[in-house]
Amino acid sequence: MSAGRAAPAGPAWTIETQRVDAREWRDTCLHAAEGGERFLGLFGAARQAGGLEVRAVFASTHGQRIVVCTPERHRVDTLVDALPAAAWHEREAHDLYGVDFDGHEPLRPLLAHDRPLADWTVAARGRDVHQIAVGPIHAGVIESGHFRFHVVGERILHLDVQLFYKRRGLERAAVGQPLADGLAYAQRACAACAVANSVAYAQACESALGLAPGRETRRGRTLLLELERTYNHLHDLSAICAGVGFAPGTMAYAALKERVQRINAQLTGHRFLFGTVAVGRSDLSIDGPAASGARAELRTIRDEHITTWRQLQFVVSLQERLEGVGVLSREHAERLGAVGPAARAAGVRRDARTESPHLWYPGFEPLEPPLTTGDVASRMAIRAAELQQSLGLLDELLAHPLSSGTTGSIGRDHAMGVGIVESPRGETVCLLERDGANVRALHLRTASYANWPVVAHTVPGNLVPDFPLINKSFELCYACVDR
Amino acid sequence: MRRASLALRHVDAGSCNGCEHELTAATNPYYDLQQYGLNLVASPRHADVLLVTGAITTRMATALRIAYDAMPEPRLVAALGDCALGCGLLGEQTDLAGPLESLLPVDIRIPGCPPTPAAIADALLCALEPGRGLAPASASAVRAVR
């Protein structure tokens, strides 16, 4: 963690921690949101002697605001009526820490699996209405989670989602660990988002320590993030074809994904890029021949993607399944706090890469989405387009060798820091509280966490056999949510 | 005699999704598990092998047991990945019921974090060999142990 020339060229994020009492909690949070600051998450935390704390994170273009409050007799006012994106957060803080949110009614259990069905599902009644229960074990090679479809025949009226079967308690287990070691808990939350979660964690630690990454650290992390996005988008295109049962598309994109994971292994020694991110520095170095070899292979992959994608446009039986299915409107995407490709395909032009002073995205602009219909077709099309964009970014990043990098001091340190990264699935946030050089609290709000309630909202009106396809068009992680 | 095929049923009991990605990759055109008669099936009722990933969370332990009990004999259990094998576990002890060996008899061990598709394919191919796993010669022995 050397000082000196390591400070970033652009303005670094600023961070503001605001302590309020329980009566001011709601107004302070809503005032931030009304002022245009984006809600990034709400978390409970245990304090000494049975005490509790709630924290909400908001983002503006120049930094983050953390609103911190001690509930009065375990109660604070809800934010959910004004900020529906806070719904799962409040339910989680209630289940884990016993915080009651006045006005959030009914406050349904989210993590507590021992409650009667009526407590966590919405009652749907009427002639021929019945439920289909699916999971936690699914029929394919899929992560575990439970769905309750309320249906008439094949038509879905409502979906209740019960996740957290994979809860490993990673955030609590990280408490007390040295900051450098805590990274492993964020990384192992999810293999497919390992880089995004690790970089968000490293950024949060560095933000709390008053550090900012230098040029090579920023370049290295950006390279890793774009490699991760590339293999994930290839995976998702394969998965959407699988959701339709179109095997040639599934296999073509599975083969391209394999080739990118082999590049990952060649450049970093790991197919999922594990162990490549560190707090306060970057150890990744890539020499000229390795960089140009990877660059040449990625150009071939780009060409094959373009050819494959063009061929898919002429497969009528595939295209017919995608259009008008699982529609997310722009209004609902905004209101529910949808993130990532799913939000952009609904017309929300937001991409955390636009405002990433701690990464390497000079002049980055979110793509003009090929479609903004908010359906499965639009979510597939934006991945195809962003895949090309990422391959273009990788082409620039790999034009030069990469050296290990440092971070430099940029100002005073804080008790809490925030990291924000655009993962393959959207904006991922890490809030870290430190106790000296150790983790005091770790909170991850992954893009999947933000988008799961959106999936449930998108499903009603569609047919049961289209659910796997809609689900794959969001392609959210369960591990990232359950933690 | 070499056994010609094995039906595989996967259960995610608390993984990071890495093992799932690599198990799926083992069916891509580079590895093509299906060519060896190794097929992923939709139900434990159809399965010879239960492929278990993850640290076995307390919330998945019951579902895992139900899936195992649903399998016809003879049956094998494979621990897929370091979490299922109980190595390098991360997490809160109160949330974890694993490792797998403490809950079910483990016949096939596939180490790695995650194991590569090639390693998964190799380990499963071994189970097809005579005298290993569920090859006809050992099927009665498997039954006798229980």
Q: How many angstroms separate the Cα of A38 from the Cα of each of A424, A427, A454?
A: 20, 11, 17
CB contact under 8 A, A191 and B67: no
For the stretch B119-124, contacts whose Cβ atoms lie closer than 8 Å and that sit 24 or more positions apart, written own/partner, are B120/B22, B120/B23, B120/B26, B120/B33, B120/B80, B121/B26, B121/B31, B121/B33, B121/B36, B121/B38, B123/B78, B124/B6, B124/B8, B124/B33, B124/B36, B124/B38, B124/B49, B124/B78
- A139 contacts on B by Cβ (under 8 Å): 42-43
Cross-strand pairs, A282: A405
**Mean pLDDT of all residues in chain B?**
87
- Positive or negative: CA dihedral A359, A365, A369, A372: positive
**Angstrom distance (rounded) from CA B77 to CA B51:** 6
Q: How confident is the model at residue A1 (pLDDT cuts 50, 70, 90)?
A: very low
Average pLDDT over residues B19-24: 97
Q: Is the confidence at residue A376, as pLDDT, over 80?
A: yes
Candidate from A43-52, A168-177, B25-34 with smallest mean pLDDT:
A43-52
Let me know: does B86 contact B98? Beta carbons within 8 Å: yes
CB contact under 8 A, B25 and A191: no
Calculate what percentage of chain A has a pLDDT beyond 90. 91
Q: Which residue of B has its CA nearest to A235?
A: B21
Q: What pLDDT sits at residue B133?
A: 55
What confidence tens digit (pLDDT) does each residue in A413-462 have? 999 999 999 999 999 999 999 999 999 999 999 999 999 999 999 999 99
Burial class (CB in 10 A: 0-12, 13-18, 19+), A314: exposed
CB contact under 8 A, A251 and B30: no
What confidence tens digit (pLDDT) does each residue in B58-76 have? 999 999 999 999 999 999 9
Calculate what percentage of chain A has a pLDDT beyond 70. 98
Q: Which residue of A has its CA nearest to B40?
A: A140
Let me know: does B2 contact B130? Beta carbons within 8 Å: yes
Q: What pLDDT sits at residue A200?
A: 98
Average pLDDT over residues A129-151: 95
CB contact under 8 A, B28 and A255: yes
CB contact under 8 A, A141 and B40: yes
- B16 contacts on A by Cβ (under 8 Å): 188-191, 194, 479
Cross-strand pairs, A24: none
Q: How confident is the model at residue A50 (pLDDT cuts 50, 70, 90)?
A: confident
Q: What are phi and psi of A5, to 5 degrees?
A: -75, 5
Q: Is the confidence at residue A207, as pLDDT, over 60?
A: yes
Q: What is the 3-state secondary structure (H, E, C) of chain B?
A: CCCCCEEEEEEECCCCCHHHHHHHHCCCCCCCHHHHCEEECCCHHHCCEEEEECCCEHHHHHHHHHHHHHCCCCCEEEEECHHHHCCCCCCCHHHECCCHHHCCCCCEEECCCCCCHHHHHHHHHHCCCCCCCCCHHHHHHHHHHC
Q: What pLDDT sits at residue B129?
A: 80
Burial class (CB in 10 A: 0-12, 13-18, 19+), A385: buried
What confidence tens digit (pLDDT) does each residue in A321-335 have? 999 999 999 999 999
* Structure-token pair, residue A55: 């924290």
CB contact under 8 A, A167 and B25: no
Backbone dihedral region for residue A180 (phi beyond 0: left; psi -120 to 50: alpha; all else: beta) = alpha
Q: How confident is the model at residue B127 (pLDDT cuts 50, 70, 90)?
A: confident
Q: A interface mutation test: which of B12, B31, B32 has the most A CBs within 10 A? A: B12
**Mean pLDDT of all residues in chain A?**
94
Sequence-distant (6+) residues with CB within 8 A of A119 are: A106, A108, A109
Element (H, E) at A160: strand A155-162
Please choose, from the candidates A464, A467, A374, A395, the residue with its C-alpha nearest in 3D space to the C-alpha of residue A151: A464
Let me know: does A226 contact A394? Beta carbons within 8 Å: yes
Q: B interface mutation test: which of A144, A237, A444, A472 has the most B CBs within 10 A? A: A144
Let me know: does A189 contact A197? Beta carbons within 8 Å: yes
For β-strands B6-12 and B49-53, DSSP reports them as parallel
Q: What pLDDT sits at residue A6?
A: 44
Candidate from A2-11, A125-134, A379-388 with smallest mean pLDDT:
A2-11
What confidence tens digit (pLDDT) does each residue in A60-89 have? 878 899 999 999 999 999 999 999 999 999
Which residue in the block uniquely carries the two structure tokens 């992923």?
B40
Average pLDDT over residues A132-144: 94
CB contact under 8 A, B95 and A167: yes
Q: What pLDDT sits at residue A5?
A: 42
Question: Which B positions 54-73 lie with beta carbon below 8 A of chain A?
Answer: 54-55, 57, 59-60, 63, 67
For β-strands A438-445 and A426-435, DSSP reports them as antiparallel
Calculate what percentage of chain B has a pLDDT beyond 90. 74
Q: Is the confidence at residue A244, as pLDDT, over 90?
A: yes
* B138: closest CA of chain A, how far (Å): 28
Q: Which of A190, A194, A251 sits opposite B29 (nearest CB)?
A: A251
Q: Is the confidence at residue B145, as pLDDT, over 60?
A: no
Average pLDDT over residues A358-381: 94
Please choose, from the candidates A267, A260, A262, the residue with its C-alpha nearest in 3D space to the C-alpha of residue A283: A267
CB contact under 8 A, A166 and B42: no
CB contact under 8 A, B57 and A166: yes
Average pLDDT over residues A179-208: 96
Q: Does B141 lie at the interface with A, CB-CB under 8 angstroms?
A: no
Q: Does B113 lie at the interface with A, CB-CB under 8 angstroms?
A: yes
| Interface contacts (A, B; CB < 8 Å) | 115
CB contact under 8 A, A165 and B57: yes
Average pLDDT over residues B75-104: 88
Q: Is the confidence at residue A381, as pLDDT, over 90?
A: yes
Average pLDDT over residues A30-50: 92
Q: In what order do the strands lie in the sheet with A52-60?
A: A14-21, A63-70, A52-60, A38-46
C-beta neighbour count of A61 within 10 angstroms: 11
**Angstrom distance (rounded) from CA A476 to CA A449:** 8
